[in-house]
Chains A and B, each alone.
Chain A
Amino acid sequence: MGAASLMTALEVAEIGARTVEFFSFKYAFVARALAASIMVGGLCGAVGTFLVLRRLSLMGDAAGHSTLPGICVAFLLAGSVSTLPIMAGALVSALLAAIVVGVISRGPRSRSDAAIGIVLSVFFGIGIVLLSHIQRVATTSYAGLDAMLLGNVAGISPEQLTALAVVTVVLGGATLLFLRPLSISTFDPSFAASVGIPVRAIHYALLGALSLSVVVSVQAVGVVLVSAMLIIPGASAVYWFKRMPGVLGTAVGLGALSGALGAWVSYIFEGVSTGPAMVLVATTFFLCSLGFGPRGGLLWRAVRRRERQRALVARADASTSASAYVEAGGGL
């Protein structure tokens, strides 16, 4: 028993040391990883809030998975994991997927959820086939490509970080600038169109923003789990605020915090990919929101119900005592 607690103490000391190392910015790659994680979390949180509110959450899943074939093709063409070709490939294939989903769902006989399901699995399937092919003919240079699956934020290059920063600033600015039309067209599209808001253009712009965000995020979280970073912060935030600014701000904050804590967890426990680590942190926040969020959280729902029951019982008591009083021949 003594040995066991000694080991635990050692582990704790080790974790502490690595934590200090992580937040000390002693190493450039650690600082880059932390900055990237925060930006990925915040960016995905903002874009994802609109997906969640428009009931397009699955679109985030499709966008993430569908980048894989583009990444692999770009690698085969360029012959290395250099940043620009990979990003271009990812973007092309994400946009292509969005277009295919649009085309299938527009037809009279199709549902958009089925379209998303088909596109997601077909694109991802092709991507996996290409990835296995690349691994089979592996040269040394393919290292890093498999990190795209589950994310390795420590491997982020300065170019990738720059691209991420640019996209974050541009999309963040655009969200603030267009918050009014974005909110109105999400809440009530027919009214929005009637006051001259370009509803369809906004829809396509949002899908474009989604593709861009996914492309700059996959290095950090991976193509499989980027959808979670898109959906979970927004889905958590609606439990806390009744107005759009609060919801959006909370989603960005929770996303950024999940990113930072996830990167920290994966730094401490070597071998844990950053994607899953961030998602687990985000999920913890979601569970707290579901449990304790004042706007529809489980605890508050239970409290309200109790109050309602108590009020009903009190009313019933009052009426029985009143009738008892009358029956007893009481007067005023």
Chain B
Amino acid sequence: MSEAVLKVSGLTIAYDREPVVEDFSFTTYPGQLIGIVGPNGAGKSTMIKALVGSLEADLGDVWVKGVQGKKARKLLTYVPQRGSVDWDFPVTVYDVVKQGRYGKLGLLGRMTKKDREIIDDALAKVAMQDFAGRQIGELSGGQQQRVFLARALAQQGDIYLLDEPFTGVDAKTEAAIVEVLRELREQGACVMVVHHDLSTVGEYFDTVMLMNKRLIAMGSTAEVFNKENLRNAYGGKLAIFDADAMAVAGQGG
């Protein structure tokens, strides 16, 4: 396999003494599309936040392409949960996507023609170019999520971490987002997605990470996404998913 892009070792995060993410170690590679799966409260969002630096980890090391700390975080592209943002904020679709260029522009840098092209391309990729001048509060949930994705694309990184991009979006948007993520994988990016719908795991992701505070299993979907691992991750709560999730898991392996 090619060189690791993300290497995490012993990552531990606690709120109020109670660990939410415990002793997490894993490695990811270019060209992986990874689904992060686990029950509510399993620490999926927390883990991602710690990786991108919006939350401080208590223990553990994170290497991105061999570097650590601030430099490492700048190599990661983060798409937060849609609900974490104030959608009444006075900002247009174009402005939000432009935020993706902040890392390159810095405090006072002026936008070049190239920046504008990158932003236009990103908007076009998620079919939001006609909405560039809209205030973001005027959009539907699916459109908002696509704008978030466009901002991530405008960052032009190759390691993506998306927190529940499919929550509260329409089927059309979900398909469009999956399309974009697959394209990124083809280009050699590593994409990690916090995902809730067990029935689509087999269809969307080539790699699965099952977690519940601790890492339960990680590997190719065919090998890892099985009944035993799901039960370990979800415990008794799995019964609800049994029928349809297992059908997919069965297909996989």
Contact = CB atoms under 8 A, between A and B. Distances in A.
Interface of A: 53, 55, 108, 177-178, 180-181, 183-184, 186-191, 193-197, 199, 238, 241-244, 246-247, 295
Contacts of B3: none
Contact of B91 (A181, A187, A189): A187
Interface of A (DSSP majority class): helix
17 contacts: A108-B16, A180-B105, A181-B102, A186-B89, A187-B91, A187-B96, A188-B85, A189-B54, A190-B84, A191-B54, A193-B53, A194-B52, A194-B77, A195-B103, A196-B73, A243-B90, A244-B91
A175 to B, nearest CB: 13
Contacts of A191: 54, 78, 80, 99, 151
Interface in B151-180: 151, 155
Nearest to B109: A180
Given A190-B54, A193-B53, A194-B53, A241 B90 contact: yes
Query: Size band of the B side of the interface?
Result: 20 to 34
A248 B249 CA distance: 53
B91 A243 contact: yes
Contacts, number: 78
B90 A247 contact: yes
Interface of B: 16, 49, 52-54, 70, 73-74, 76-78, 80, 84-86, 88-92, 95-96, 99, 102-103, 105, 107-108, 135, 151, 155
Most buried by B among A194, A238, A295: A194
Contacts of A241: 90
Contact of A246 (B52, B77, B90, B102): B90
B91 A194 contact: no
Given A108-B16, A194-B73, A243 B95 contact: yes
A187 B85 contact: yes
Enumerate the 4 nearest inter-chain pairs by beta-carbon distance, A residue then B residue, closest first: A193-B54, A242-B135, A194-B78, A194-B52
B70 A196 contact: yes
B80 A187 contact: no
Nearest to B87: A187
Contacts of B135: 242, 295
Given A190-B78, A190-B84, A183 B91 contact: yes
Given A181-B107, A187-B85, A188-B99, 15 more contacts: A53-B90, A180-B102, A181-B102, A186-B89, A187-B86, A190-B52, A190-B84, A191-B80, A191-B99, A194-B54, A194-B73, A194-B76, A238-B90, A241-B90, A244-B95
Contacts of A243: 90-92, 95
Most buried by B among A191, A199, A242: A191
A199 B16 CA distance: 22
